[in-house]
């Protein structure tokens, strides 16, 4: 089989497609023949050497796939063989084949293509955990979704619209038309102007009840200032650090020193909350994510979960796929196809 290997930390030239022996399913695992594999911002940071959770290089990353079960270990359900599925993979998803614990596998909804199905696990589980599980967003509340045009951003918009909350989203201006078509109430250009005064003006100076922020560093402090009383800030990424070589390392260091230290007294007196989410640290809580996935897959059937794939790149064009996301061209999900 072929795998996309990050040979060492660096620019897109460190990505290489290599021939490797086929995997064999371990205890309670199934072997999935991959038809599409999700590319996430974490994979970009892993290539740049800025993602602490990534395996040591040379490594194969990839947190999610959609494909067909080709084999199953004795302990796994044999009826899964031949079934189309989607799965969370703890790395190794960017391969022709991957072996996955059966608890991380769900049946692919018929109405979705393999590419659309591969756009579900990371984006929608993250959005669901942020907005519903930890953010407790309500119909009468409002939410600010940063990077609303990205993979997690569009998923969060689907979830927020389903709840019935008022939605504000920051995104590069070229994505605003599409975001409005998808139901975003207020699109804010954060690239050419300061988004906070614009948000304050749109909310009559009040701010919003929930902000989800994947940018990190000093940006978390600013997002905190956008909260209305009873507001919550969900922090879940550090894309501000993205960069190759020394640039990335310098940005990471800067973000670290600019990260706010929230005081319990300030939270108490202002009636605010802050929380963090790392989906990649929930492997020992798979029952929770299985329950969230059940709601999400029901949402596909009900029509409110609408995974949107911007582009599918074949494995041998993986470098272009990384550059596409790094240059902010993607609207929604980018997937890799064997």
Task: Using alpha carbons, list the distances in angstroms from residue 121 to 57, 89, 320.
Answer: 25, 10, 23
- Is 330 a residue that touches ligand NAP (CB under 6 A)? yes
CA distance 96 to 77: 22
Cβ closest to ligand NAP, residue 257 vs residue 265: 257
CA distance 242 to 73: 39
**Strand-pair category, 142-145 with 166-171:** parallel
Question: What character string, x for contact with ligand NAP (CB under 6 A) and - otherwise, covers 169-188?
Answer: --xx--x-------------
Binder among 32, 60, 325, 336 for ligand NAP (CB under 6 A):
325
- Is 237 a residue that touches ligand NAP (CB under 6 A)? yes
CA distance 274 to 35: 38
Binder among 70, 254, 328, 337 for ligand NAP (CB under 6 A):
328
Give residues with Cβ within 8 angstroms of 71, minimum separation 6. 25, 30, 31, 81
- Is 236 a residue that touches ligand NAP (CB under 6 A)? yes
- Is 147 a residue that touches ligand NAP (CB under 6 A)? yes
Taking each helix axis as running N to C, give the angle between helix 245-258 and helix 218-225, from 0 to 180 degrees, rounded to the nearest 10. Answer: 40
Binder among 14, 76, 102, 122 for ligand NAP (CB under 6 A):
122
Task: Using alpha carbons, list the distances in angstroms from residue 202 to 64, 118, 166, 314, 330.
Answer: 37, 35, 11, 42, 27
**Rg of the chain on CA atoms, in Å:** 20
Give residues with Cβ within 8 angstroms of 90, minimum separation 6. 63, 104, 283
- Is 271 a residue that touches ligand NAP (CB under 6 A)? no
For residue 236, the minimal CB distance to ligand NAP (Å) is 4
Cβ closest to ligand NAP, residue 72 vs residue 224: 224
Burial (Cβ within 10 Å: 0-12, 13-18, ≥19) of residue 284? exposed
- Is 326 a residue that touches ligand NAP (CB under 6 A)? yes
Residues 210-229 touching ligand NAP, rule: CB under 6 A, are 214-215
Stretch near ligand NAP under the rule CB under 6 A, chosen from 88-96, 112-120, 294-302, 325-333 = 325-333
Stretch near ligand NAP under the rule CB under 6 A, chosen from 34-42, 93-101, 107-115, 254-262 = 34-42
Residues contributing to the site for ligand NAP (CB under 6 A): 40-42, 122-123, 126, 147, 149-153, 171-172, 175, 214-215, 236-237, 239-240, 242, 277-280, 325-326, 328, 330
């Amino acid at each position: 089989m072929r795998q996309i290997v990050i040979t060492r930390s660096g620019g897109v030239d460190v990505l290489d497609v290599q021939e490797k022996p086929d995997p064999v399913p371990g205890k309670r695992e199934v072997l999935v023949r991959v038809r599409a594999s999700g590319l996430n911002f974490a994979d970009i940071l892993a290539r740049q050497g800025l993602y602490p959770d990534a395996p040591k290089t040379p490594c194969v990353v990839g947190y999610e796939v959609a494909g067909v079960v080709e084999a199953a270990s004795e302990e796994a359900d044999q009826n899964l063989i031949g079934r189309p599925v989607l799965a969370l993979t703890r790395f190794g998803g960017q391969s022709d084949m991957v072996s996955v614990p059966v608890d991380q596998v769900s049946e692919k909804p018929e109405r979705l293509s393999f590419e659309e199905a591969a756009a579900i696990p990371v984006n929608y589980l993250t959005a669901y955990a942020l907005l519903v599980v930890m953010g407790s967003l309500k119909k009468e509340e409002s939410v600010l979704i940063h990077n609303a045009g990205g993979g997690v951003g569009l998923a969060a918009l689907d979830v927020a619209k389903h709840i019935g909350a008022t939605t504000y989203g920051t995104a590069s201006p070229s994505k605003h038309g599409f975001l409005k078509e998808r139901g975003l109430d207020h699109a804010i250009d954060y690239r050419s102007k300061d988004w906070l005064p614009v948000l304050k003006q749109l909310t009559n100076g009040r701010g919003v009840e929930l902000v989800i922020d994947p940018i990190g560093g000093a940006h978390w402090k600013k997002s905190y200032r956008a909260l209305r009383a009873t507001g919550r800030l969900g922090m879940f990424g550090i894309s501000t650090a993205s960069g190759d070589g020394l640039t990335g390392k310098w940005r990471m260091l800067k973000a670290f020193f600019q990260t706010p230290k929230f005081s319990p007294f300030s939270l108490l007196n202002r009636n605010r909350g802050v929380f963090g989410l790392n989906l990649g640290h929930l492997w020992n809580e798979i029952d929770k994510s299985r329950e969230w996935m059940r709601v999400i897959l029901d949402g596909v059937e009900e029509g409110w979960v609408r995974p949107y794939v911007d582009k599918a790149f074949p494995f041998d064009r993986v470098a272009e796929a990384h550059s596409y996301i790094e240059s902010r061209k993607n609207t929604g999900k980018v997937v890799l196809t064997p």
